[in-house]
């Protein structure tokens, strides 16, 4: 007597509460009873809440996937019968793949019976009766079209929800939001206790405290993490500092498929979708700080108070390498902190020349008003807008090419084609990252915002002139400098500091008189 197996599948967890599982199970039991057969319960084949549209039920850990493996390993004997409610329970993918899967099972000697239409598929029928394959193909086509229609309907529904949020017709996309917000009515309510933790993280960052140190401080104080983790980690701090939701932006995303490869694609942020808990000025300041900050600076900020106002900014005039703070020996002269080229210090070339750090810091303090008076025009947003438009066009063209390549690979798979697809995906990801950086830079080229930040820096520097250098809190000033400048060249040949503005342009300050001749 042949062994009989029943495969049940439904695509959503909600169907488990309904009639789907019972209907499929009873149909299989009735078939076995009518034909004097007994269902084999040793190899349970169930896929609850699993979609067959993209082949999730064929994954090695899925029910059907395990059954296919059992067939290949000889655990399912030839002549066995697999009962399905319909062929679309097997797959709702493209019809040719569904029929190919059917043929694979049948070629292993297993008979497939579909209960809703009383179709029997075995080697003899598929080899000698062309209508068998035609029926299978038509059923597969119907199932695939139904799934595509449903997927399009769901995608359109979410697109409409996102449109309504963008236009302000509704205040909320879903009830799930950032950890510091609670769904209330049609909108959001701020959980002030959690929001205050976020504000503190941003405040500490702007003071020059590193991510490790912030996480360590919150853990030491017993501040509960905002997520499901038991402790604060550097990564959780980093995520908070890059989350646009703190300024009220929602960044929606959707799952897209390239062939069978699943990828999350982010859309343009929706401003004002959430209540803002961080000012845009502080957000942009933190992003400028993080985007231009090296790992070495982060490590130092996390370990001890900053001892160098130009940390992460000072550049050698000869080779443009970073300049670092050194403090050799003791006594009035030997113990005076200096700036030296890191390349020269490591013996890797360049000229070793030390510059007294206090002279450089003093020049910055004295030159506060000159910095405010000499804000350059920069390259302006028009040039960036052209770059952004060009890059957006390149991304759109590459994406279309990616879709064409994926279709070609689906029709004719090849290793070289797969490599080209992977390379193109990487290129698109790189262009998207570059586009995001350009867009962020464009937002930072707000003249009024730059003016306000420069004034804040000048006030901090002027206030520092009244403080003992040993007691100077350099962290906030260093953070303010890194927001505005990409680097500061310490030109000991002329005794000048050259401040390189992120927006383009330079401002010079004299820190020492250099004898010539």
Question: CATH number, domain at 255?
Answer: 3.90.1750.20
Residue carrying structure tokens 């000869």: 318
Specify whether 360 is located in the same domain as 407.
no
Asked, for residue 246, whether it belongs to a domain, the answer is: yes
Specify whether 492 is located in the same domain as 353.
yes
Q: Is pLDDT at 488 greater than 60 in this prediction?
A: yes
Q: Is pLDDT at 2 greater than 80 in this prediction?
A: yes
- Domain boundary among the residues 444, 473, 493 is at 444
- Domain boundary among the residues 393, 413, 444 is at 444
Asked, for residue 173, whether it belongs to a domain, the answer is: no
**Residue 139 structure tokens:** 């059923």
Looking at residue 193, its pLDDT comes to 93
- Identify which of 306, 296, 316, 314 has the alpha carbon closest to the alpha carbon of residue 360: 314
Asked, for residue 502, whether it belongs to a domain, the answer is: yes
Specify whether 84 is located in the same domain as 129.
yes
Looking at residue 199, its pLDDT comes to 93
Q: How far apart are CA 49 and CA 18, in angstroms?
A: 12
Q: How far apart are CA 144 and CA 21, in angstroms?
A: 21
Q: Is pLDDT at 234 greater than 50 in this prediction?
A: yes
Q: How far apart are CA 317 and CA 296, in angstroms?
A: 21
Specify whether 486 is located in the same domain as 350.
yes
Looking at residue 194, its pLDDT comes to 92
321 falls in which pLDDT band (50, 70, 90)?
confident
Q: Average pLDDT of the chain?
A: 77
Sheet of strand 338-341: strand arrangement: 323-326, 338-341, 355-356
Specify whether 87 is located in the same domain as 11.
yes
Q: Is pLDDT at 11 greater than 60 in this prediction?
A: no
Asked, for residue 296, whether it belongs to a domain, the answer is: no
442 or 116, which is more confident: 116
**Residue 493 structure tokens:** 């040949």
- Residues paired with 265 in a beta bridge: 254
What distance lies between CA 448 and its chain's CA centroid?
30
Looking at residue 178, its pLDDT comes to 86
CATH of the domain at 50: 3.40.50.1390
Asked, for residue 45, whether it belongs to a domain, the answer is: yes
- Average pLDDT estimate for 454-479: 71
Specify whether 284 is located in the same domain as 218.
yes
Number of separate domains in the chain: 4
- Domain boundary among the residues 106, 126, 149 is at 149
Greatest mean pLDDT among 3-17, 107-121, 372-386 lies in 107-121
317 falls in which pLDDT band (50, 70, 90)?
very high
Specify whether 282 is located in the same domain as 337.
no
- Average pLDDT estimate for 372-392: 67
pTM of the predicted structure, to 2 decimals: 0.42
Count of Cβ atoms closer than 10 Å to residue 457 Cβ: 22
264 falls in which pLDDT band (50, 70, 90)?
low
Specify whether 276 is located in the same domain as 140.
no
- Average pLDDT estimate for 402-413: 75
Q: Is pLDDT at 357 greater than 60 in this prediction?
A: yes
Contact status, residue 57 vs residue 51, Cβ threshold 8 Å: yes
Specify whether 18 is located in the same domain as 75.
yes
Specify whether 115 is located in the same domain as 15.
yes
DSSP state of 470: G
453 or 257, which is more confident: 453
Specify whether 188 is located in the same domain as 218.
yes
- Identify which of 79, 167, 73, 67 has the alpha carbon closest to the alpha carbon of residue 123: 79
The string of pLDDT tens digits covering residues 245-254 is 898 887 776 6
Asked, for residue 517, whether it belongs to a domain, the answer is: no
Looking at residue 293, its pLDDT comes to 46
Asked, for residue 48, whether it belongs to a domain, the answer is: yes
Looking at residue 318, its pLDDT comes to 92
Looking at residue 356, its pLDDT comes to 92
Specify whether 310 is located in the same domain as 398.
no
**Residue 214 structure tokens:** 């912030």
- Identify which of 427, 319, 313 has the alpha carbon closest to the alpha carbon of residue 360: 313
Q: How far apart are CA 465 and CA 450, in angstroms?
A: 23
225 or 515, which is more confident: 225
Q: Is pLDDT at 244 greater than 80 in this prediction?
A: yes
Q: What percent of the chain has pLDDT over 70?
A: 73
239 or 144, which is more confident: 239
Q: What percent of the chain has pLDDT over 90?
A: 13
Parallel, antiparallel, or unpaired: how do β-strands 323-326 and 338-341 relate? antiparallel
How does DSSP assign 177-242, residue by residue? --TTEEEETTEEEE-HHHHHHHHHHHHHHHTT--HHHHHHHHHHTTPPPSSS-SS--HHHHHHHHH
Domain that holds residue 272: 181-291
Asked, for residue 170, whether it belongs to a domain, the answer is: no
The string of pLDDT tens digits covering residues 173-210 is 566 688 898 887 777 889 999 999 999 999 888 877 88
């Amino acid at each position: 007597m042949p062994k009989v197996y029943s495969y049940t599948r439904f695509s959503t967890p909600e169907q488990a509460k309904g009639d789907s599982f019972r209907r499929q199970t009873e149909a299989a039991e009735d078939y076995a009873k009518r034909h004097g057969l007994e269902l084999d319960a040793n190899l349970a084949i169930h896929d609850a809440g699993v979609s067959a549209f993209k082949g999730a039920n064929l994954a090695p850990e899925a029910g059907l996937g395990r059954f296919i493996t059992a067939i290949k390993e000889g655990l399912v004997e030839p002549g066995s019968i697999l009962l399905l409610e319909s062929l679309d329970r097997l797959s709702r993918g493209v019809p040719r793949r569904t029929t190919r899967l059917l043929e694979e099972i049948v070629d292993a000697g297993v008979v497939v019976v579909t209960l809703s239409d009383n179709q029997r598929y075995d080697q003899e029928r598929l080899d000698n009766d062309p209508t068998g394959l035609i029926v299978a193909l038509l059923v597969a086509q119907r199932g695939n079209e139904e799934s595509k229609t449903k997927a399009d309907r769901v995608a359109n529904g979410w697109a409409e929800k996102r449109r309504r949020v963008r236009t302000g017709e509704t205040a909320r996309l879903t009830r799930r939001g950032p950890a510091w917000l609670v769904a209330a009515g049609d909108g959001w309510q701020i959980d002030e206790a959690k929001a205050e933790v976020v504000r503190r993280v941003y405040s500490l960052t702007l003071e020059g405290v590193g991510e490790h140190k912030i996480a360590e401080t919150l853990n030491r104080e017993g501040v509960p993490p905002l997520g499901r983790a038991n402790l604060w980690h550097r990564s959780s701090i980093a995520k908070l500092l890059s989350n646009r939701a703190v300024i009220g932006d929602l960044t929606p995303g959707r799952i897209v498929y390239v062939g069978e490869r699943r990828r999350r694609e982010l859309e343009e942020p929706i401003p004002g979708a959430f209540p803002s808990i961080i000012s845009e000025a502080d957000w942009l300041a933190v992003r400028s700080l993080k985007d231009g900050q090296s790992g070495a600076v982060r490590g130092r900020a996390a370990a001890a108070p900053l001892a160098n106002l130009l940390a992460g900014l000072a550049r050698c005039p000869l080779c443009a390498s970073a300049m670092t703070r050194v403090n050799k020996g003791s006594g009035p002269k030997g113990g005076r902190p200096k700036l030296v080229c890191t390349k020269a210090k490591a013996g890797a070339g360049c000229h070793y020349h030390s510059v007294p750090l206090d002279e450089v810091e003093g020049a910055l303090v004295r030159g506060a008003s000159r910095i405010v008076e000499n804000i350059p025009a920069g390259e302006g947003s028009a040039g960036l807008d052209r770059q952004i438009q060009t890059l957006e066009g390149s991304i759109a063209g590459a994406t279309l090419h990616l879709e064409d390549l994926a279709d070609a690979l689906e029709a004719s798979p090849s290793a070289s084609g797969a490599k080209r697809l992977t390379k193109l995906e990487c290129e698109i990801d790189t262009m998207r990252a570059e586009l995001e950086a350009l867009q962020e830079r464009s937002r930072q080229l707000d003249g009024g915002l730059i003016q306000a930040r420069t004034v804040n820096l000048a006030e901090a520097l002027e206030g520092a002139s009244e403080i003992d250098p040993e007691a100077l809190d350099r962290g906030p000033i260093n953070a303010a400098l890194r927001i505005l400048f990409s680097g500061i060249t310490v030109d000991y040949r002329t005794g000048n500091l050259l401040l390189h503005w992120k927006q383009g342009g330079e401002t010079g300050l004299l820190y020492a008189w250099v004898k010539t001749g």
